[in-house]
Amino acid sequence: GRNLMLVLSRRLNEALVIADPWTGQRIRIVVTAIQRGQVQLGIEAPAEVHIWREDVDRRLLLRKGREAAGVVD
């Protein structure tokens, strides 16, 4: 299915929570700083949840696809 995007506004030190209703796992995202057009986020999540920037995720997916295709760098 298609993913939907929920757009929220948060102020400094405010948080949002992402929860899995089946497992009860919760991820808490807090706005820790706002300066010069950048927002700094703090993320609290279970240790088994992998968290990385989107650009890193793209590289990992690309590498995984290349490895599955047998391409070696």
Q: Which residues contact 26 (CB under 8 A, 6 or more apart)?
A: 17, 18, 19, 20
pLDDT digit string, tens, across residues 41-55: 999 999 999 999 999
Do the beta carbons of residue 32 and residue 42 sit within 8 Å? yes
Q: What is the pTM of this model?
A: 0.76
What pLDDT is stored for residue 63 in this prediction?
A: 87
Report the alpha-carbon distance of residue 37 to residue 67 in Å, rounded: 38
